[in-house]
């Protein structure tokens, strides 16, 4: 339940703008350390893209479908262990033999398993002659993962000559795209399609996607893909409950921050749209950095701090949420995995077509959260959830909505029907007969309900130019004001939890976790069921 605002605001040690996963992470850690924390959320519920909304008798997580880093000793596990919440917030491993299933244009189904050796064997079985090339590709990923894990917290330019020999793979590939590495490894179009079918996880096609960004997610899932046992609603709600259970800590909703009083070296206070003012020795911004920089005034940012704010936003999705009755999706090949359906081989061309509003041969993501855990909480007994997604052009939908709301709704419905047609034709015959309710969210929906400018999925576009040393970080021109979000750290639940952990450790000196202490891949794979 929303905390009531006090007539005279109490003193806080830290004020946090926003309640996304990075914010909830740093807030929970600071609260546990004894700080009085205030969180200001513009929306009517917490969680950002991880928030859950109710529609009819069904509950849907806005955008998140699976995460990584939940194995014993890995990042998410270490965060929850620090709070003493591991026994309460538990995770179910998706099928390690195939946490993702890829349906190819030739009708073949190839599963993406945990463990690169198994992956190479699966692709070799489907497309003989490609296994060794896939292993050459994943060997590059392995080397990148090993080198990234050994990076120091910061590198000065003058250290590069002396440290560079330890990071030769990272230096070689730091500016490369996934497509360039595919070509280097001479992968066939079929093997490429399997490996990049999950482009929707990055909202970026292979010709633009940084190999470093790809590796971060793909190698993460390679060690285990997970879903919260009690769903994402419980994950977010339990963290909020944990924060507010500590004396002097509050979370306030529908409190959009519209101004910040920035002095010469400190941000003195923040004010909300309804005129309430909050101050604290430390202020953390989980809201979009570009947007908040404009609120502060870009002219107040020295050039070295302004340049990292000039990033391009990531692209976004159109999502269809379906509540189903009278059908068991397990009888149609669904289960504790996600499914990626491709209508053509070339993801670059697929992406370009969809950005031109041509959904004749789209990629389709299919998620079944009601099958990922036996815990109730997402739909009525006997019902199931199917979520569909593909990419969409924000500018097109925004212009259409502003110009002609009826045309905007028709276009959303046309895309929704196209995706359902594909599912009916290839996966669930007569799907429409079982749809109890449906709702579609466009890029502008993401902007309205997740406070994501341009409906972006991941803050910065995950191109090579946005993945280097010049990427936005926590530090700002003001010694008590910090960025803490996907754009200033790394995206996804695992990435934003890591961003919140890192800021907490920087502020307090309590370095309870070091990436170099993470169990190796073999150890994490042994924890998975059936290993």
**Residue 2 scores a pLDDT above 60:** no
Residue 82 contacts residue 29 (beta carbons within 8 Å) = yes
Mean pLDDT of 502-528: 95
Q: pLDDT at position 7, please?
A: 44
Averaged pLDDT score across all residues of the chain: 94
Residue 397 φ/ψ, nearest 5 degrees: -70, -35
Cα 201 vs. chain centroid, distance in angstroms?
A: 8
- How many other CB atoms are there within 10 angstroms of residue 152's CB atom? 10
**CB within 8 A of 266, min separation 6: which ones?**
478, 479, 480, 481
**CB within 8 A of 328, min separation 6: which ones?**
384
Q: pLDDT tens-digit profile of 156-178?
A: 545 555 566 678 999 999 999 99
* CA-only gyration radius of the chain, Å: 23
Q: pLDDT at position 219, please?
A: 97
Element (H, E) at 228: strand 226-228
Edge-first strand order for the sheet with 100-103 is: 109-112, 100-103, 338-342, 363-367, 383-392, 316-325, 435-441
Residue 15 contacts residue 287 (beta carbons within 8 Å) = no
pTM as predicted: 0.96
Q: pLDDT at position 162, please?
A: 58
What does the H/E/C string look like for 123-177? HHHHCCCCHHHHHHHHHHHHHHHHHHHCCCCCCCHHHHHHHHHHHHHHHHHCCCE
Name the residue among 467, 473, 466, 16 with its Cα closest to residue 282. 16
Residue 478 contacts residue 267 (beta carbons within 8 Å) = yes
Residue 263 contacts residue 461 (beta carbons within 8 Å) = no
**Residue 39 scores a pLDDT above 80:** yes
Mean pLDDT of 269-283: 96
User: pLDDT above 90 covers what percent of the chain?
Assistant: 92
**Residue 504 scores a pLDDT above 80:** yes
Cα-based distances in Å from 475 to 285, 472, 479, 508 = 11, 8, 8, 15
When pLDDT is cut at 50, 70 and 90, the band that residue 470 belongs to is: confident
Question: Angle between the 131-149 and 189-196 helix axes, to the nearest 10 degrees?
Answer: 40
Sort residue 430 into left (φ over 0), alpha (ψ -120 to 50) or beta: left
Q: pLDDT tens-digit profile of 393-417?
A: 999 999 999 999 999 999 999 999 9
Q: pLDDT tens-digit profile of 420-456?
A: 999 999 999 999 999 999 999 999 999 999 989 999 9
Q: pLDDT tens-digit profile of 294-347?
A: 999 999 999 999 999 999 999 999 999 999 999 999 999 999 999 999 999 999
Mean pLDDT of 228-252: 98
Q: pLDDT at position 164, please?
A: 64
Q: pLDDT tens-digit profile of 58-82?
A: 999 999 999 999 999 999 999 999 9
Q: pLDDT at position 294, please?
A: 95
Q: pLDDT at position 150, please?
A: 82
Mean pLDDT of 124-139: 98
Q: pLDDT at position 1, please?
A: 38
Q: pLDDT at position 151, please?
A: 76
């Amino acid at each position: 339940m929303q905390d009531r605002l006090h007539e005279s605001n109490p003193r806080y040690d830290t004020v946090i703008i926003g309640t996304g996963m990075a914010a909830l992470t740093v807030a929970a850690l600071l609260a546990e350390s004894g700080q009085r924390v205030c969180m200001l959320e513009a929306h009517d519920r917490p969680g950002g893209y991880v928030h859950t909304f109710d529609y009819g008798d069904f509950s849907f997580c806005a955008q998140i479908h699976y995460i990584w880093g939940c194995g014993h000793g890995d990042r998410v596990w270490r965060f929850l262990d620090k709070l003493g919440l591991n026994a309460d917030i538990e995770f179910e491993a998706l099928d390690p033999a195939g946490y993702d299933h890829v349906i190819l244009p030739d009708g073949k189904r190839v599963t993406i398993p945990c463990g690169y050796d198994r992956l190479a064997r699966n692709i070799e079985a489907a497309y003989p002659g490609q296994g060794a090339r896939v292993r050459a590709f994943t060997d590059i990923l392995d080397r990148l993962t090993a080198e990234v894990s050994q990076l120091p917290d910061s590198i000065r330019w003058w250290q590069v000559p002396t440290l560079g020999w330890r990071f030769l793979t990272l230096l070689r590939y730091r500016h490369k795209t996934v497509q360039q590495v595919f070509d280097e490894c001479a992968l066939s179009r079929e093997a490429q399609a399997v490996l990049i079918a999950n482009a929707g996880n990055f909202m970026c096609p292979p010709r633009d996607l940084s190999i470093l960004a790809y590796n971060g997610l793909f190698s993460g899932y390679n060690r285990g893909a997970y879903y919260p046992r009690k769903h994402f609603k419980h994950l977010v709600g339990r963290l909020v409950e944990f924060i507010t259970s500590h004396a002097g800590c509050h979370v306030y909703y529908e409190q959009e921050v519209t101004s910040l009083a920035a002095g010469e070296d400190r941000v003195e206070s923040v004010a909300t749209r309804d005129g309430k003012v909050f101050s604290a020795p430390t202020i953390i911004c989980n809201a979009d950095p570009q947007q908040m920089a404009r609120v502060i005034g870009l002219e107040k940012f020295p050039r070295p701090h302004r340049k990292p704010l000039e990033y391009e936003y990531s692209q976004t999705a159109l999502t269809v949420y379906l509540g189903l009755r009278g059908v068991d999706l397990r009888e149609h090949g669904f289960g504790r995995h996600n499914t990626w359906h491709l209508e053509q081989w070339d993801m670059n061309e697929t992406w370009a077509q969809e950005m031109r509003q041509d959904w004749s041969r789209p990629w389709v993501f299919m998620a079944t959260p009601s099958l990922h855990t036996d815990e109730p909480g997402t739909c009525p007994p006997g019902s199931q959830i199917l979520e569909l997604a593909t990419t969409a052009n924000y500018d097109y939908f925004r212009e259409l909505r502003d110009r002609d709301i009826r045309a905007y709704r028709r276009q959303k419905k046309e895309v929704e029907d196209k995706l359902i047609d594909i599912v009916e034709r290839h996966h669930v015959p007569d799907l429409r007969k079982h749809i109890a309710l449906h709702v579609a969210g466009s890029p502008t929906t993401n902007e309205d309900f997740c406070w994501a400018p341009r409906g972006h999925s991941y803050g910065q576009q995950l191109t090579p130019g946005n993945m280097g040393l010049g990427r936005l970080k926590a530090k700002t021109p003001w010694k008590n004001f910090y960025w803490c979000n996907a754009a200033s750290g790394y995206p996804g639940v695992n990435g934003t939890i890591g961003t919140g952990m890192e800021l907490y450790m920087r502020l307090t000196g309590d370095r309870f976790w070091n990436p170099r202490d993470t169990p190796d891949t073999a150890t994490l794979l042994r924890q998975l069921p059936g290993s």
